[in-house]
């Protein structure tokens, strides 16, 4: 069970969901979401549980593999709110009571009510973070884990991350970040964030490359922290190569829980750091900024989660998916705007971009 919505949403937000939501009791085995079909509703699990499955190949629903069980308190069907495709199938594992809200109605509410938008995107970010954390903390289930021929699970390209982080932000948001953050130079082979330790700043990678790795086996933060196991980085398979625009450690920045991964510099790097307490205060007092910030975080975590989910069933799936991906006109415009804002931020900070 997760009480994320009850902790994050206000009474007014909850009253709106109750007033406009439709309660439905679904029988066991009933389909709620189909892969590659855009959902029309967002559904909240009130009682019961859902099974999330992913097909090994697109369209091969008979070969779908169960990757997670979604208990009460989880939301499903919100991918259109993050301009993302839904790649999974969701069915009820037992009789399940859901509260369903039309996507179009939520989109209108997000546009008209900035406080609701801040709270709702915050809740989605936390729910996605929890799902990703569960999979990273039990990495033995990821196929191809530790196989160097398969490559990292996440292959972050600078253009994609700049799009995600900066294409959604306003100039005033970037002004605030540059005013309250500071640049840190990170030497080669330096651990920026260590597994099992708290994340005390929001980090944005301005230049250079970093790796994200995790220990094999079940995640034990106390052992990693107090027995020094996190120091043995050579035995940790690399999950990702992070480039410009990436936000390492964002999972633990959101939920204050121990970080499940270690982030280390592969080259000399520049990072931009905003202290947690400073950013937390801003998020609490500025709903407009918070709505954009949490949406950015939700989009980035969803991308990570989809990559891990594909690797759960097929080691090469993420590489194939990336090779086949195409950007439409709106995406290209977002990339251009995001890259422009990122370049402007670097100029404000006096950083020469090396690519």
Please check whether residue 270 is in contact with residue 206, taking contact to mean a CB–CB distance below 8 angstroms: yes
More confident residue, 73 or 137: 73
pLDDT value at 325 more than 70: no
Q: Which pLDDT does position 190 carry in this prediction? A: 94
Q: Is 190 exposed, middle or buried (0-12, 13-18, 19+ CB in 10 A)?
A: middle
> Whole-model pTM?
0.87
Q: Which pLDDT does position 139 carry in this prediction? A: 58
Lowest mean pLDDT among 41-50, 142-151, 264-273, 345-354: 142-151
Is 140 inside a domain boundary?
no
Same domain, 150 and 26: no
The end-to-end CA distance of the chain, in Å, is 44
Is 84 inside a domain boundary?
yes
Is 254 inside a domain boundary?
yes
Nearest residue to 49 (alpha-carbon basis) of 104, 98, 116: 98
Lowest mean pLDDT among 70-79, 198-207, 245-254: 245-254
Please check whether residue 318 is in contact with residue 312, taking contact to mean a CB–CB distance below 8 angstroms: no
pLDDT value at 218 more than 50: yes
pLDDT value at 268 more than 60: yes
Same domain, 188 and 336: yes
Is 156 inside a domain boundary?
yes
Same domain, 77 and 157: no
Q: How many distinct structural domains can be found in the chain?
A: 2
Same domain, 230 and 331: yes
Backbone φ and ψ for 291, nearest 5 degrees, come out as -65, -40
Q: Which pLDDT does position 140 carry in this prediction? A: 58
Q: Provide mean pLDDT across the span 191-216.
A: 89
- The pLDDT tens digits of the residues spanning 141-175 come to 554 445 555 555 555 444 455 666 678 889 999 99
Q: Which pLDDT does position 319 carry in this prediction? A: 43
pLDDT value at 310 more than 60: yes
Is 121 inside a domain boundary?
no
The CATH number that applies at residue 27 is 2.60.120.10
- The pLDDT tens digits of the residues spanning 88-136 come to 999 999 999 999 999 999 999 999 999 999 999 999 999 999 998 888 8
Q: Which pLDDT does position 42 carry in this prediction? A: 98
Q: Provide mean pLDDT across the span 269-282.
A: 95
Same domain, 100 and 163: no
Burial call 145-162: b when 16+ CB within 10 Å, e when fewer: beeeebebbbebebbbbb
pLDDT value at 26 more than 70: yes
Q: What distance in Å separates the CA atoms of residue 287 and residue 180, rounded to the nearest whole number?
A: 18
% of the chain exceeding 90 in pLDDT: 48
Same domain, 226 and 82: no
pLDDT confidence tier of residue 19, bands split at 50, 70 and 90: very high
Same domain, 215 and 282: yes
Query: What's 56's DSSP letter?
Result: S
Q: Which pLDDT does position 305 carry in this prediction? A: 86
Q: Which pLDDT does position 224 carry in this prediction? A: 84
% of the chain exceeding 70 in pLDDT: 79
Same domain, 200 and 328: yes
Alpha helix positions (H), the chain? 4-8, 11-20, 103-112, 114-136, 158-166, 171-180, 221-226, 250-255, 276-285, 287-313, 317-324, 329-349
Same domain, 150 and 107: no
Is 126 inside a domain boundary?
no
Same domain, 181 and 245: yes
Range of the domain at 83: 4-112
Q: What distance in Å separates the CA atoms of residue 111 and residue 107, rounded to the nearest whole number?
A: 6
CA angle 291, 248, 181 (to 5 degrees): 65
Same domain, 153 and 107: no
| Alpha-carbon 288 to chain mean position | 20
163 SS3 class: helix
Same domain, 53 and 195: no
Is 46 inside a domain boundary?
yes
> Cα–Cα distances in Å, from 354 out to 94, 175, 176, 343?
54, 22, 24, 11
Please check whether residue 157 is in contact with residue 327, taking contact to mean a CB–CB distance below 8 angstroms: no
Mean pLDDT of the chain: 83
pLDDT value at 324 more than 80: no
Q: Provide mean pLDDT across the span 201-218.
A: 86
Is 53 inside a domain boundary?
yes
């Amino acid at each position: 069970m997760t009480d994320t919505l009850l902790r994050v949403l206000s009474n007014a937000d909850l009253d709106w969901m109750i007033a406009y939501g439709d309660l439905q009791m679904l029988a066991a085995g009933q389909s709620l979401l189909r892969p590659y079909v855009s959902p029309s509703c967002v559904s909240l699990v009130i009682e019961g549980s859902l099974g999330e499955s992913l097909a090994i190949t697109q369209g091969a629903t008979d070969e779908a593999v169960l990757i997670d069980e979604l208990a009460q308190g989880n939301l499903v069907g919100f991918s259109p709110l993050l301009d993302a495709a839904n790649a999974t199938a969701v069915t009820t594992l037992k009789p399940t009571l859901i509260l369903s809200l039309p996507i179009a109605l939520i989109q209108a509410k997000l546009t008209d009510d900035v406080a609701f938008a801040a709270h709702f995107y915050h809740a989605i970010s936390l729910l996605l973070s929890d799902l990703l954390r569960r999979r990273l903390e039990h990495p033995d289930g990821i196929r191809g884990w530790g196989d160097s021929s398969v490559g990292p699970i996440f292959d972050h390209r600078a253009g994609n991350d700049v799009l995600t982080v900066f294409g959604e932000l306003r100039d005033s948001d970037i002004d605030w970040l540059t005013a309250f953050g500071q640049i840190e130079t990170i030497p080669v082979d330096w651990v920026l964030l260590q597994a099992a330790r708290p994340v005390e700043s929001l980090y944005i990678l301005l230049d250079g490359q970093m790796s994200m790795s995790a220990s094999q086996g079940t995640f034990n933060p106390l052992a990693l922290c107090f027995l020094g196991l996190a120091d043995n980085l050579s035995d940790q398979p690399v999950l990702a190569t992070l480039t410009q625009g990436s936000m390492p450690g964002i999972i633990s920045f959101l939920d204050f829980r121990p970080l499940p991964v270690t982030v280390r510099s592969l080259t000399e790097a520049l990072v931009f750091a905003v202290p947690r307490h400073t950013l937390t205060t801003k998020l609490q007092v500025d709903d407009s900024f918070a709505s954009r910030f949490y949406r950015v975080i939700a989009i980035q975590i969803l991308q990570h989660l989809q990559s891990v989910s594909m690797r759960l069933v097929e080691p090469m799936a993420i590489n194939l998916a990336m090779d086949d991906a195409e950007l439409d006109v709106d995406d290209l415009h977002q990339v251009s705007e995001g890259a422009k804002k990122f370049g402007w931020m670097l100029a404000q900070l006096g950083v020469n971009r090396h690519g």
